[in-house]
Amino acid sequence: MTPPLFLSRLRLTDDQRALLLAVLIGVVTGLLIVCFHVAIELIGWYSRGTPVGADPWRTVLSPVLGCTAAALLVMHVFPRGRGSGVIQTKAALYISDGYVPASAVVGKFSACAISLGSGAALGPEDPALHIGSGIASYLGRLFRLSRPHLRTISPVGAAAGIGAAFNTPITAVLFVVEEIIGAWNASVLGATVLAAVSAVVTARAFLGDSPLFRIPPFELRHPAELLVYGATGLIVGALSAAFIQAIRWLRRQNEKQPPWMAYVRPAGAGLLVGVIGVWMPQIMGPSYDAVDEALHGYYGWQWMLAFGLVKFCCTVFCFASGTPGGMFAPTLFIGATVGGGLGALASMYSPIPMSGVGSFVLVGIGTFFAGVFRAPITSIFMAFEVSGNYRILLPVMVANLAAYYVSRKMEPAGFFDMLARLEGLDLPSAEQLRERTPLRVEHAFEPGPAFAFSPGTAAEAALAELRRCGQSRRLAARRRGGWSWVSAAQLEDLCRRGFGTESLDNLLPQGRLPHLYPDMPLDTALRLYEEEDTLPVTSRAHSSQLLGVLPVASILAAYGLPPHLTRASGGPS
Amino acid sequence: MLAALTARQTQVRVAAIFGGIAALFAATGFAVRWEHAERHGRAARHFSRANALDRQHRLADALREYRTAVLIDREREEYQLGLADALRRAGRPAEAEAYLRSMLERNPAHGRANLALARIRAQQVLTNQESADAADAAYRRAIAGDWPPPGPGPAPRLEWVAFLGETRRSSLQTAQLLILAQELPGSEARRLAAAAALAPAASEERRQLIDRLRAAVQP
């Protein structure tokens, strides 16, 4: 595949072209996300009117019609725009070599703008992520990126999409690394950062740089307050596990229903949201304004808990019904309102001085997110990035990790893993990828200090020692560092030729064996076996200190494979 | 020939991509202007409706309209100040303060927000017998704060003077009246302020002079 002419003239490497393209992806995604945001706002104003809830008929009918229209669009016009953006991006990364069809971008944009604008209790970030991923894939194909780069370009676009939608570049990069890629990959990270930053800068150029939420000042007034934050995290964590289970249960129930119900469910979910919206307009759409109001203490604890639980139900119904939309904004809203409600309740009965309700709302923003998406690092940095206050980190860490562990304990599968399984995709779980502990040399090597001759050992003495121990060979340390194998046959030959009194270091050839360290992963170690079937294991602090040896057979045994495979496969013998 | 054609096609394709991006920029700009115009128009309509309802003493309806205006256009401070003032008058000072706090976080020297906060504090002092320090501090910040041109005039200090009278702190009130006498423009207002400062502390005469002074400096 040839790159475009002007890029050929620039003589850029594939990596450099990918980085250049990342900026372009960021700019285009940023522009589209601005249009997406504008479309949601305008559809919302024209369909639901202002103030929301003032006209009950419009408030009820708007989500009914919007959810139905959006579901019909993805069912019949843009079927590639269906499903979660995160799952689609992971599928592009692991299954389809980075291919995300352009029709998915158009479908996601139009369907989600209609559903979110009309009031569905879902959010715009996941669709934005999908739009970014589709743009990246399209531009990657257009610019004829090589196959490996094309595979990894869709997460780059995903970061741009989420960064522009949420106005948080750090969170976007961390989320993509933590949830989609599953590991720190240096080659993707540079492009991801560039795309996220350029998308955010582009979006800010049009929408201004005012943050998503106006954050009240935060102050931890008493160390014991952390216990309340921890307890809030535990409760929100349990709620997040229930959220995942409720969606799975409803989706499974849906599968048992006749096909025509697929047209009725979105209308039913819209009706539920609309009817509740007459009294609680705060739960309609992405609900960012309500989170902002909660942050500034506009609601009492009863209202906040009611908002959180009602949004929980509406989001579960909307999402399970097949209405297009994302889960980020609802998780932020549920976490913020439930966290704020619990915090306000605790403040009333607490014997210690407590920080304001806004602080609990702010901390709560990330807790439900951490429990549902199982992305604890992203959730912590999201609170930090949104608040711009590093003092918030301590309670956020306590609450988010509590939520994360409780949620994991109650429900082993994270939201996206559950969703992938429901959609019949066997995608690698980012959580499992992160936590997979590779087998290391220390798990397989044979320890023992008496494996080596010193460099000054005479050939005769070495031969005598081998005969005494009944060994055929042993490692010999080299004076300038490193190790070599010396066998009894070699030593006999040397002694026969009159070199018996010479030191081994002078007699052995210069070539040295590669050596291993105990913390080295076994798959890395395996690549070092070329001629020898056993390699020395040394200390990282003193490479002359032999800790043991590692035969290939022991590696295979550690992987649970029979030792004869080494010979059968033609590996080192 | 074929290679040349491919190169030309590639150039056309690249030109089309950049042309497309330029068109997307233009379309985004148009969409954002449309959204801004709609946002400002809707918010302004709700705000003027709120003001009209407020004048008709339909405070609950006015509050809903003020809140809608603020939700639609969060950047306009005028709407937030209107909502905060309506909330204070509706007996919901905590909510009113929340709006003012968010404005003061951005600009702690915001004159109008500080004056609105001072009114809330003053109301709390007069109803709950709380310490007047917070109200005094807010009045001081309001007087010395940032105001849009042509500035606040004597109104904030005069309001503080009245509050000092209501909380019976005569020496501080006298000091403020003397400052006011120096700052006031017209000779009549200046004379009234000086007379009030010289009148016996916490007397009926001083109170009447201050009332006349307030009427005289009313725009």
SS3 A220: coil
A27 contacts in chain B (CB < 8 Å): 21
Tell me the one-letter amino acid at A191.
A
CB A370 within 8 A of CB A376: yes
Are A34 and B28 within 8 A, CB to CB? Answer: yes
CB A33 within 8 A of CB A203: yes
Asked, as a colleague might, if the bond just before A51 is cis with ω within 30 of 0, I would say yes
Q: Which of B68, B75, B95 sits opposite A298 (nearest CB)?
A: B95
Q: Please list the pLDDT of chain B residue by residue as tens digits (219 residues).
A: 444 557 777 778 778 888 999 999 999 999 999 999 999 999 999 999 999 999 999 999 999 899 899 988 888 889 999 999 999 998 888 888 888 887 888 889 999 999 999 999 998 888 876 788 889 999 999 988 888 888 888 888 888 888 888 888 878 888 888 888 888 777 777 888 888 878 887 788 888 888 888 787 776
Within an 8 Å CB–CB cutoff, is residue B64 touching chain A?
A: yes
Q: Please list the pLDDT of chain A residue by residue as tens digits (573 residues).
A: 455 555 556 667 777 888 889 999 999 999 999 999 999 999 999 998 877 767 889 999 999 999 999 999 999 999 888 888 888 888 888 888 889 998 999 999 999 999 999 999 999 999 999 999 999 999 988 888 888 888 888 999 999 999 999 888 999 999 988 888 877 777 788 899 999 999 999 999 998 877 777 777 777 788 888 999 999 999 999 999 999 999 999 999 998 899 889 999 999 999 999 999 999 999 999 888 888 888 877 788 999 999 999 999 999 999 999 999 999 999 999 999 999 999 999 988 888 888 888 889 988 999 999 999 998 889 999 888 887 778 888 999 999 999 999 999 999 888 998 998 888 888 877 677 666 777 899 888 888 756 788 888 899 999 998 888 888 888 888 888 888 888 899 899 989 888 888 888 888 887 778 889 999 988 888 888 887 888 889 888 877 788 888 988 888 888 888 766 654 444 333
Are A297 and B94 within 8 A, CB to CB? Answer: yes
Which residues on neighbouring strands pair with residue A211, listed in sequence order? none
Within an 8 Å CB–CB cutoff, is residue A131 touching chain B?
A: no
Q: What is the nearest CA distance from A205 to chain B, expressed in angstroms?
A: 10
The 10 Å Cβ neighbour count of residue A240 is 32
The 10 Å Cβ neighbour count of residue B108 is 12
Determine the Cα–Cα distance for residues A241 and A411; give it in Å rounded to an integer: 6
Amino acid A571: pLDDT? 38
Amino acid A3: pLDDT? 54
Per residue in B15-43, pLDDT tens?
A: 888 899 999 999 999 999 999 999 999 99
Within an 8 Å CB–CB cutoff, is residue B38 touching chain A?
A: yes
Within an 8 Å CB–CB cutoff, is residue A437 touching chain B?
A: no
Question: For residue A321, what are its two tokens?
Answer: 């019904």
Q: What is the nearest CA distance from A27 to chain B, expressed in angstroms?
A: 9
A32 contacts in chain B (CB < 8 Å): 24
A218 contacts in chain B (CB < 8 Å): none
Q: What is the nearest CA distance from A560 to chain B, expressed in angstroms?
A: 53
Within an 8 Å CB–CB cutoff, is residue B68 touching chain A?
A: yes
Cα nearest neighbour of A42 on chain B? B35
Q: Which of A38, A215, A296 sits opposite B98 (nearest CB)?
A: A296
User: Tokens 């306000």 belong to which residue?
Assistant: A344
Are B21 and A28 within 8 A, CB to CB? Answer: yes
Q: Note the helical H segments in A455-540.
A: 459-469, 488-496, 504-507, 522-526
The 10 Å Cβ neighbour count of residue B208 is 12
Mutate to test the interface with B, among A206, A212, A291, A295 (most CBs of B within 10 A): A206
SS3 A414: coil
Are B28 and A4 within 8 A, CB to CB? Answer: no
CB A294 within 8 A of CB A89: no
Within an 8 Å CB–CB cutoff, is residue B76 touching chain A?
A: no
Are A51 and B75 within 8 A, CB to CB? Answer: no
CB A197 within 8 A of CB A163: yes
Q: How open is the CA angle B114-B119-B120, to the nearest 5 degrees?
A: 95
Determine the Cα–Cα distance for residues B62 and A544; give it in Å rounded to an integer: 83
Phi, psi for residue A104 in degrees, rounded to 5: -65, -35
A36 contacts in chain B (CB < 8 Å): none
Determine the Cα–Cα distance for residues B85 and B82; give it in Å rounded to an integer: 5
B34 contacts in chain A (CB < 8 Å): 38, 42
CB A319 within 8 A of CB A243: no
Tell me the DSSP string of A33-89.
HHHHHHHHHHHHHHHH-SSTTSSHHHHHHHHHHHHHHHHHIIIII-GGG-S-HHHHH
Determine the Cα–Cα distance for residues A57 and A63; give it in Å rounded to an integer: 11
Q: What is the nearest CA distance from B60 to chain A, expressed in angstroms?
A: 14
Are B32 and A206 within 8 A, CB to CB? Answer: yes
Amino acid A9: pLDDT? 62
Q: Which of B10, B32, B105 sits opposite A34 (nearest CB)?
A: B32
Length of chain A: 573
DSSP class of A516: B
Are A50 and B72 within 8 A, CB to CB? Answer: yes
